[in-house]
Every structure is written in C-alpha cells, then in structure tokens.
C-alpha cells in the first residue's frame, strides 16, 4: 500500500499554551475534552454540527456541575489567599475536536463561567478539507493523540495526569492507549501497533513520537469518563489494561476525587454547597451521593462527618429523604410568604373569587403528591383562614 507521506497530522493541531515551564512542573495536570464533557453539544449529523458553529456563547450549555468541579480541581479552597501563588493552581488543558473558528465563542463561554484555563487545542478541519480527507473529519484518534502528547512531553516525571472525557466518541480508547505508553505498559513500537487497532497509520504514529521526543516517566494516570446513556458501551479493541472510572454526573465524580485525595478533603461541605448553590444539584442528590460514598470508601467516614456536622448545625437532618423535604419546606414556606406579601400589596388577599378558583382546581384534580403544589394549597388555605 502506498502511504500518503504528504499528509501531516500536525497540520491539524492548533494549540495555544499559556503556561511556562514552571506550570508544567505542577504534580497534577488536567486534560479535558469540551464537547459533551464540558458543554452539552449534539454533533450526530452534519446539520447538527452546522448548528453548533452558528451558536453564540450564550447558547452554549455547561454540563451540570462541570464548572464547579474543574474550578475546585484547579484552585481548591485555600484558607487564606495571602501567600497563595499562581504556581499552586492545577493546570487545565482543553483538547477539543472542534475547529479553531469556534475558539472565540468557546473562550467567551468559559470566561462567562468564570473558568480560566492553561492551554487550548482545536482541530484544524480546514486542512482535512484542503487535502480531500473528508472521512477524517470525524476521525479523532490521530489528532487527539498528537495534541495530548504534545502537552504531555512538557510535563515532568512523577506527575499525575487526569484525563476527563466522555463515551460519545473515542476518548476512552485514546486515553487508554496514551496511558499505556506513559505508564510503561507498552513500548513505543507496541504503541504503534496499538494505535493501528484504532485506525491510525503506522507512519503517522511514528511521526508523532519522533516529534514529541521523550515523555515523562513514572506517570500516574486517572481516566474519568462521563457516561452518556444515549451511547452504547462498546468494548475497547485494545483491551482493559488501564482502569477507567465512568461517572454519570459531576457530583459523583467530585465525591470520587475527594476519596482519591485529588480534591481538598478539608472542606467537603463547602464543595457540596457549591454543587447545590451554583450547579443546581438537589439536596436529595447530594445526600444520596455522600451516603453512597460512605458505603464505598470506608476511609472517607471522617471526611464526610464534617459535612454531616455542618448540616446538623443548620438543623437539617442528614437522612436524604427527610433532609430534602425539610429544606424544601423551609424554602417554599419563605417563598409563599413572599407571594402573600405580593398579594397584600395588590389588595387581593380578600378576593374570594381568586381563592375559590384555586380550590375548585384542586377538587377537579387528584390529591397533589408534589411537595411544592401541596405547600401552595396549604398557603392558600392559610390565606382563606386569615392565619398568616
């Protein structure tokens, strides 16, 4: 077979790096995908891909909890910013298969989310189009391996790399193969054969390895994959020598990283509060996640006791069901009182037609099971009885 030696994989890699050598010396490095990992995107057809290109930064939707998790990975929660230096911040590298033409929109979105990053890499699809390689528009393995190893080659020995992606495309297999190279499970020649199983030509892999030179030694790797139910779980053609942690949501991942000591374990309550206040996770979901974690990670009992103590101090029972119910009751009680004040200001408290209309709707429907609806009817009854 005649190889197309004129095709240069590096022409696809459009990479900006904002770190100096000191930043690459940090013992923890995070490499993260964007589409379906950080942003909710749909690229299953050419039409949907075109729609992505037309979206503004305001149209982009952050995956629930992703911003909170990545910010905590980077910054933690320092006691005092005095003496806190920039070289303590964990570097965050975004590697995307989106074209660089979308960089400005994604920049605006990330800045709107309050998330600063250390490098970004985009796939220059114009090169594939120019070369007539239309089949390679959706083939990401060679590009991502080149982009990631170009970053990894600047990292230091003994570092811990966290790969964060999703199961929509090839992230698990890409991360697995790179991990096997970095941890010494395969030699460089075996790595060439490994990538050939994923559709990368041997001369392309050798070109990548020649370009990057030596990679760091004694590297520890964590592969963290967001599991999307709409995509089937396919077995990897390269086997399962490297462990992958699949998570359904970022709250679950946060608890896992706490257990691995990769998130600051001193303030789990503040982290859980961020997931509730900023990411919109319900108290029931948080309670369930912590309950499950204590059953899975026995060594975390002491850490999660702090969370329980904080909730007890707030007079919130930790039992997931009771906890969620009581907090919602309190919040909705305050909300309904505010609604009552609004009605008072509009002089409609004694409007009997309004009250009767509400009660006639309730009689026509089955008894409300939703807590919020039930509280609303309780509030209306209190209005009727002038008890508020």
43 or 362, which is more confident?
Answer: 43
For residue 248, what are its two tokens?
């359904």
Q: Is the pLDDT of residue 238 over 90?
A: no
Encode pLDDT of 150-200 as tens digits: 999 999 999 999 999 999 888 999 999 999 999 999 999 999 999 998 889
**Rounded average pLDDT over 45-71:** 72
10 or 377, which is more confident?
Answer: 10
The pLDDT of residue 51: 52
Cβ pair 212, 150 in contact under 8 A = yes
pLDDT band, residue 202 (cuts 50/70/90) = very high
Percent of the chain with pLDDT over 70: 67
- Domain coordinates of the chain in residue numbers? 9-248, 253-313, 320-384
277 or 219, which is more confident?
Answer: 219
User: Three-state SS across the chain?
Assistant: CCCCCCCCHHHHEEEEECCCHHHHCCCEEEEECCECCCECCCCCCHHHHHHHHHCCCCCCCECCCHHHHHHHHHHCCCCCCCCCCHHHCCCEEEECCCCHHHHHHHHHHHHHCCCCCCEEEEECHHHHHHHCCHHHHCCCHHHHHHHHHHHHCCCCCCCEEEEEEECCCCHHHHHHHHHHHHCCCCCHHHHHHHHHCCCCCHHHHHHHHHHHCCCCCCCEEEEEEECCCCCCCCCCCCCCCCCEEEECCHHHHHHHHHHCCCCCCCCHHHHHHHHHHCCCCCHHHHHHHHHHHHHHCHHHHHHHHHHHHHHHHCCCCCCHHHHHHHHHHHHHHHHHHHHHHHHHHCCCCCCHHHHHHHHHHHHHCCCCCCHHHHHHHHHHHHHHCCCC
**Rounded average pLDDT over 348-365:** 44
The pLDDT of residue 367: 40
Residues with Cβ < 8 Å from 237, sequence gap 6 or more?
173, 197, 198
Encode pLDDT of 110-138 as tens digits: 888 888 899 999 998 777 777 666 566 56
**Rounded average pLDDT over 354-382:** 46
Q: Is the pLDDT of residue 29 over 90?
A: yes
**Rounded average pLDDT over 200-221:** 93
For residue 259, what are its two tokens?
């257990």
- Residues, the chain, total? 388
Encode pLDDT of 249-286 as tens digits: 999 999 999 888 898 777 788 888 888 888 888 877 88
Q: What are the angstrom distances between the C-alpha of 74 and each of 52, 62, 86, 222, 262?
A: 28, 18, 10, 16, 10
**Rounded average pLDDT over 244-251:** 94
The pLDDT of residue 36: 93
Give the HSE-up count for residue 8: Cα atoms under 13 Å, Cβ half-sphere. 11
Q: Is the pLDDT of residue 325 over 60?
A: no
**How many helices (H) and strands (E) are present in the chain, helices listed first?**
16, 7
88 or 13, which is more confident?
Answer: 13
The pLDDT of residue 85: 67
pLDDT band, residue 30 (cuts 50/70/90) = very high
pLDDT mean across residues, the chain: 77
């Amino acid at each position: 077979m005649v190889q197309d030696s004129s095709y240069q994989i590096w022409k696809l890699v459009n990479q900006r790096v904002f770190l100096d050598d000191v930043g690459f010396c940090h013992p923890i490095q995070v490499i993260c995908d964007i589409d379906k990992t950080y942003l909710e995107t749909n690229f299953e057809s050419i039409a949907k891909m075109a729609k992505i290109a037309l979206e503004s930064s305001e149209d982009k939707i952050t995956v629930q909890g992703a911003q909170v998790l990545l910010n905590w990975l980077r910054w933690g929660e320092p006691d005092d910013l005095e003496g806190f230096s920039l070289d303590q911040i964990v570097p965050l590298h975004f590697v995307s298969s989106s074209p660089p033409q979308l960089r400005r929109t994604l920049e605006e979105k990330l800045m709107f989310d309050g998330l600063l990053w250390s490098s970004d890499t985009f796939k220059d699809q114009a090169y594939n189009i120019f070369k007539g390689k239309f089949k390679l528009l959706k083939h990401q393995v060679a590009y991502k391996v080149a982009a990631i190893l170009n970053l990894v080659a600047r990292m230091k020995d003994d570092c811990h790399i966290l790969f964060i992606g999703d199961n929509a495309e090839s992230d698990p297999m890409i991360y697995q193969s790179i991990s096997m190279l970095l941890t010494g499970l395969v030699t460089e020649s075996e790595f060439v054969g490994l990538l050939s199983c994923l559709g990368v030509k041997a001369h392309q892999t050798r070109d990548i390895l020649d370009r990057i030179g030596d990679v760091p030694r004694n590297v520890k790797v964590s592969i963290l994959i967001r599991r999307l139910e709409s995509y089937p779980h396919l077995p990897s053609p390269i086997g399962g020598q490297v462990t992958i942690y699949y998570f359904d949501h970022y709250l679950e991942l946060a608890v896992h990283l706490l257990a691995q000591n990769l998130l600051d374990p001193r303030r789990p309550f503040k982290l859980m509060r961020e997931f509730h206040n900023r990411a919109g996770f319900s108290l029931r979901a948080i309670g369930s996640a912590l309950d499950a974690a204590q059953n899975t990670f026995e060594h975390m009992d002491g850490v999660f006791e702090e969370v329980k103590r904080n909730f007890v101090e707030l007079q919130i029972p930790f039992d997931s069901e009771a906890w969620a119910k009581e907090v919602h009751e309190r919040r909705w009680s305050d909300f309904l009182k505010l609604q009552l004040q609004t009605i008072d200001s509009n002089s409609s408290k004694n409007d009997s037609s309004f009250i009767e209309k509400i009660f006639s709707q309730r009689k026509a429907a089955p008894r409300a099971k939703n807590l919020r609806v039930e509280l609303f009817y309780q509030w209306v009854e209190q209005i009727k009885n002038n008890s508020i």
